[in-house]
Structure 1
Amino acid sequence: MVTEDMLLFSSTTDLFSRSQMPDLNYKHVSNLTDHTGIIQHAVFAMPNRKEGYCIDDNARALLWAVWACKNNKKDQIASHLLPVYLGFIHYMQTEDGYFKNFLSYTRSSSEKRGSEDSFGRTVMALGYLINEGPSHLLIKTGREIFAKAFPHVNVLTSLRGMANSIIGICQFIKSHYPDDWKRNAVIQLSDKMVRMYKDNRNAEWHWFEPVLTYDNAMLPLALLNAYEVTEDEQYLAIALESMHFLESKVFYDNILRPIGNAGWYKRGGPMAQFDQQGIDVMAMVLLYQQAYRITQEQPYLTRMYKSYQWFLGDNDLGLSLYDFSTGGCADGLHSKGINLNQGAESTLAYWISHEVVVSTL
């Protein structure tokens, strides 16, 4: 039976190719990066040094650099910057294996440790480096940092901290298969997510918590990764059910509308349309890529392409957040336009999404 999604997929892939994607332009990523790491915020396209650095963005930058090196083996920019981001993560790791998050431009930090979310994002990026990194020595460095952090994964309580950690551990397992110790950690974290899902699920609400907020797609993505290494059908069933619930809330007339951060979407309440953020779009791109890898169902590629095109103007306002002149990305889509600041989070969300799509073409 030919479905509407299949027809859409056919028309999308007939029309969508690398030639339709912006040329590689890492100028703004380079502009935001110094010898310490990537600066987290920008005033328009100028690095805002007053705001310093964070491990969240340096972990995203490491993830981007790993994939950019993989997709573009001759690219000198990503291969030059990757050790900078890994060096930042190493510097921010505490003696007990946790990570500080924020560092001032003068390289001072008053934190004892950062959030569980930032911990999970760092573990995820390290996992991809270990599995797909471009050099043995960089991979070895990543393994040492990962090993020091790993004992803390089982005490995580943050949903997104757990989800990102699951993804990173699954990537580690792929490079060290089999690894029953790491596999048991995936099961323990995934079972926590399953319990949270069952506690919050009802006939109309198929989600892990009573609100849709940010980085939502990372939650079903984690269980898709867990299924890949455990073959536990429960993880797959919940991942697909929650993914379909999420996309029913964020696609309108075949245009992606990520949950707005000006109020989010609480169960039974109104859904915020704005402000829409690039990291939510990136998470959708990653989710659909993994859903396709697991199921080989081509309509998931359609949704992946449609999600990516949000950056290029296929959104509620018809405005491109990606800046072709700088290689940066606007910080968000507001009701009256775009946030013209091109910070690290949004710029990296675009380039990670770009690399994911390139890898499928």
Structure 2
Amino acid sequence: MSDRMHYISPKYFRALCDDTGIFQHAVLDTADRAHGYCIDDNARALLASYSLAEEGEDCDAELLGNRFVAFIQYAWNPDQNRFRNFMGFNRNWLEPQGSEDSHGRTLWALGVCSRDDPSPLRREWARLLLQKSYPAMATFRSPRAWAFAILGLCAFEDTRPGDPAARRMCDRLTGQLFDLLEREEHVNWSWFEDVLAYDNARLPQALLTAGHAHKHQHHIEAGVRSLNWLLELQKGETGLFRPVGSDSFGAPHARPEPFDQQPLEVAATVAACRIAYVITAAPRYLADANRAWRWLLGDNDLGLALLDPKTGRCSDGLHPDRVNANCGAESVVSALLAAADMNALQEASRLAEAR
């Protein structure tokens, strides 16, 4: 067991998986086979498997990582040059291609796999499949798909600095994200769209990551500005973290509704604060990341914990009057990713204090 402060047992994460991949949903803490699998969750689960390796859970990381990699490979549809998303329990695909966002998340996982996987053959597999996806990336219209792809490309470039095709694609997508913010931003609204949705902090995280990697100060400044705006928006009246509720989706230029709140936003916020702290060394990002993390443990509008670190169970959300007791893949993996980023932040802070 890791001695890091933010440790979550992988026990429940393992229980949600079979030899195909991770199940999408659960009824309480029992995997719901009726809803099968999706590439969104298996791509995120691959990312989480690398954090398990960092925590010393090497056996789990290797065994589970192989399954998620195989799922992604099987999801690739060469006739469409896209990834499928939804698969039934019978292992039949339910569509010829998934959404842009699910494709983008898969590219993010491939980029990290090409850098972090212990197997040279899997790193090469990830590189080849990522490169096959360049034509699809160029057609994306979703800002979140751009952001996920940027995160994957920046991870890929960590091992292949100066790769011209990756750099061109990353610059293109980062430029589109920056231009979108420039067009939509106005007084009291420093955001990329006229609405708030899900995985919000991944947008400034992508700008910050690419700006830092490529030394583009204007991208860093835009990422900091939009992240700071979002962080203030995600505070309740008492100062607790209050992620943008799903009831808010689709309301133009409106302050967010408080419910339903989901763990996905915690993972995104902590990750964005991590890269912002690396770039700026501003203590506020340590505090904001911790505020988001504590939401999982009960520092939220209802004072109820969603995460049990000892078992690894994480509830699917916070309703106006209760916790959603179902513990699906998105929530569990979000908690694991948030814990990994909190540990990385903790280490970055320790090193900064030692200097």
TM-score range, shorter chain: over 0.9
Any runs of at least 4 consecutive aligned residues in structure 1 with deviations exceeding 4 A, and if so which?
A: 17-20
Given that 1:66 and 1:134 are in contact with CA atoms closer than 8 Å, whether structure 2 keeps it comes out as: no
Distance 2:345 2:220 in 1: 22
Task: Specify the code of the residue in structure 1 equivalent to 2:342.
Answer: V
Farther off after superposition, 258-267 or 111-120: 258-267
Distance (whole Å) between structure 1 residues aligned to residue 59 and residue 244 of structure 2: 36
Three-state SS of the structure 2 residue aligned to 1:311 is: helix
TM-aligned CA deviation for residue 213 of structure 1:
1.2
Q: Which moved more, 1:48-57 or 1:178-187?
A: 178-187
C-alpha displacement at 1:276, in angstroms? 0.2
Distance 1:301 1:322 in 2: 20
- Per-residue Cα deviation, 1:142-180 (whole angstroms, up to 9, x for no partner): 222212222321111101001110110011011101212
Partner of 2:180: 196
Counterpart of 1:313, as a letter, is G
2:73 to 76, 84, 90: 90
- Quote the residue 2:325 is aligned against: 340
Alpha carbons of 1:20 and 1:72: their partners in 2 closer, same or farther (altered >3 Å)?
closer
Match of 2:22 in 1: 38
Aligned to 1:181: 165
Q: Is residue 329 of structure 2 the alignment partner of residue 306 of structure 1?
A: no
Q: Deviations over 1:94-137 (max 9, x none)?
A: 11431000000001113111000001111111111111222212
Kept after mapping to 1: 8 A contact 2:49/2:64? yes
Letter in 2 for 1:97: N
CA drift at 1:234? 1.6
Q: How far off its partner does 1:326 sit?
A: 3.4
The structural deviation recorded for 1:58 is 0.1
Aligned residues: 343
1:280 aligns with 2:243: no
CA RMSD of aligned residues (A): 1.7
**Number of the residue aligned with 2:150:** 166
Indicate which of 107, 110, 113 corresponds to 1:129.
113
Does 2:97 match 1:113? yes
Q: Distance in 2 between matches of 1:74 and 1:353?
A: 17
Gapped regions of structure 1 (runs ≥ 5)? 1-16
TM-score (ref. length: structure 2): 0.92
Counterpart check, 1:259 vs 2:244: yes
Residue 292 (structure 1) aligns with? 277
CA contact (8 A) 2:150 2:210 kept: yes
- Select the residue among 44, 49, 52 that pairs with 1:68: 52
User: After the TM superposition, which of the residue ranges 348-357 and 226-235 deviates more from structure 2?
Assistant: 226-235
Aligned residue number for residue 223 of structure 1? 207
- Counterpart Cα distance in 1 of 2:116 and 2:263: 24
User: In the aligned structure 1, how far is the partner of 2:255 from the partner of 2:217?
Assistant: 33
Residue 234 of structure 1 aligns to a residue in which SS?
helix
Moved more, 333-342 or 308-317: 308-317
CA contact (8 A) 2:88 2:94 kept: no
Matches within 5 A, 1:136-151: 136-151=120-135
Task: State the partner residue of 1:352.
Answer: 337
Alignment CA distance shift 1:245-1:99 (3 Å):
same
1:78 corresponds to: 61
Q: Relative to structure 1, is the Cα distance of residues 301 and 237 closer, same or farther in structure 2, using a 3 angstrom cutoff? A: same
Which ranges of structure 2 fall in alignment gaps of 5 or more residues? 347-355
* Change in 2 beyond 3 A, CA 1:223/1:20: closer
Counterpart secondary structure, 1:256: coil
TM-score scaled by structure 1?
0.91
User: Contact 2:114–2:126 at 8 Å: present in 1 too?
Assistant: yes
Q: Is the 8 A contact 1:257 1:315 kept in 2?
A: yes
Partners of 1:204 and 1:78 in 2: CA distance: 44
- Measured against aligned partners, the alpha-carbon deviations of 1:33-73 in whole angstroms (never above 9, x if no partner) come to 0111100000000000000000000000000001221x124
SS in 2 for 1:360: helix
Corresponding residue for residue 9 of structure 1? none
Distance 1:191 1:337, change over 3 A: same
Preserved contact between residue 8 and residue 336 of structure 2 (Cα < 8 Å): no
SS of residue in 1 equivalent to 2:313: coil
1:24 and 1:232 map into 2 onto residues whose CA distance is 36
Q: CA deviation at 1:74?
A: 5.0
* 8 A Cα contact 1:260 1:275, kept in partner: yes
Query: Helix, strand or coil: the match of 1:187?
Result: helix
* AA at the equivalent of 1:296: A
Whether the aligned pair in 1 keeps the contact of 2:85 and 2:102 (CA below 8 Å) is yes
Residue identity over aligned pairs, in percent, reads 35
- Match of residue 315 from structure 1: 300
Deviation sequence 1:205-251 (CA, Å, 0-9, x none) = 11110011111101001101110222122211111111111111002
Give CA-to-partner distance per residue, 1:173-192, whole Å, 9 cap, x none: 11101212211111111111
Distance in 2 (CA, whole Å) between partners of 1:51 and 1:74 is: 28
